Structure 1
Amino acid sequence: MLFFMIHRLKEGIEMMKSSWVEEYLDWLKEQYQISDLGNSEEIITPFVNSIGDNITIYVSPNEDGSITLTDDFDTIGDLTMMGVNLSLPSRKVYLNNIINEYGIHNVDGELFVVGSKGDFPMMKQNLVQAIIHIDDLLMTRKENVTSIFKEEVYSYFDENDFGGLKTYRPFGSSGNSYLIDYTIPKREHRPYRFINFTNSSSFASIATTGAMYGDISSGTEYNVKNSEFILIYNSEIASPSQKGFNIAERFNLKLIPWNNKHEILKLK
């Protein structure tokens, strides 16, 4: 059954006469490993996930003549095993967006799709692509992790009613405006609190933030007497070096690790 389906995949683009397409398909077909498991067939793909395993899917027939393709709980199971908390609102949104985009299902951690035998090529493509994108939750690519980290902090601030403003732009003494991730207004016995979030706790990141706050605090509206400057860093990635702490102190910049919720709640 499966060899027939892969043959259909190749036939579907025979009209494309480019020799490189044919050569690629021949190569790709050779990379798949297919095993008959009795009630289902195992397909080991040439695509590797972020923990170094080949992505594997399983095909099984249904009584109504349709087929089911599943990851057999591997993708989400691996993420959970590696400590990725999928219950966080930001990760739930990311996961649901991928599931909806590729038209697959997620039931109790099993990723699968059901359809006709004739739709096998597209079903296989959608399931594998979805698995690859969901697996990105384990990767440390900046565009994913930074966005997810900021969403987590924003969600936490909203849930705990910090009462601040997102993406405020104060001016510094230089005349430049700066983007602040979160600003808590001044109250009777509490200064303004300017808070930025960073996925990186490198010296360069801290120094850049410190210089920004230094310009803001030397302006006419905000200063070190009526304002506090805070940088919340992703402690799951790394902690600042001693040089980082030193430069933060020089700029009156308070560093708080994300896992220190007790200290973060004091900012309210």
Structure 2
Amino acid sequence: MIEEAMLHITGMGVTYPNGVQALKPITLAFRPGEFVVLLGRSGAGKSTLLRCLNGLVAPTEGEVRVDGLGRLSEPGVLRHHRRRTGMVFQHHHLIGRLAALSNVLTGRLGYHSPWRTLLPLPRADRLVALECLDHVGLKDRALTRVDELSGGQRQRVGVARALAQEPALILADEPVASLDPESAAEVLKQLRDICTADGIAAVVSLHQVDLARRFADRIVGMANGSVVAEVASGELSKALVDEIYRAPAAPAPSPAVSRIRPGPAVSAQAKLPGENPKAKKPGVLIP
């Protein structure tokens, strides 16, 4: 039995104010527990599509509809959708001077009011964060500063942070592009296994054909802002790969003209006034 889709995009396109068409109208659906890979060259539109799925970029045509919530453009829907959507980034976006557990705890902030986040989070949240680190095999490094971890371990902390949101959807933008082949395969395997077991829909952008074939349930091939292929991973032929990669990539739009929706931003390497960069390792105690 095929589960109903939890996220639908219908005729969704993005054209920037300077006339650059980043996405031509696309219609897709994503189901719980399905691991979907967006495959294509840099500039194909993969990142723009991912950002539309989380409301970071507003489509200029078409719509994004979330099962049980409604259209993403409706008042109040976006906040609820973002709270249950985990993001995994290529460059981690972690705070290096903080412990792994403290970074994972940021995934719980969406469940509290802004005033409540100024205080230490409840014990229940810290237990959730520890469980997420255990999921990715890093429970024993919970109190280790993130800047002392390897690249693969940092990306696994990023996955744990996304899991701490208890998401229905995980979006990952080139999550293994900066990792060696062994670490890349390990991170993707953990992410796919967790999403499959927990019924989390995953949409992951990649440019490595071998990894897409190995881990994807479904592959969406993109070129020049269009979907040029949508097949099961076992059906990705050489002809389709050639079609995805032979077209020259469209120039990436300037961030200055992107229709980005405003939202809170936290610098991954922010420094506090008077901070000593060689200060003692942080620790997060669970009473």
* Same fold? TM cut 0.5: no
TM-score (norm 2): 0.24
Select the structure that is richer in helix: 1
Q: Which has the higher relative contact order, 1 or 2, with Cα contacts under 8 A spaced 6 or more apart? A: 2
Instruction: Decide which structure has the larger Cα Rg and report it.
Output: 1
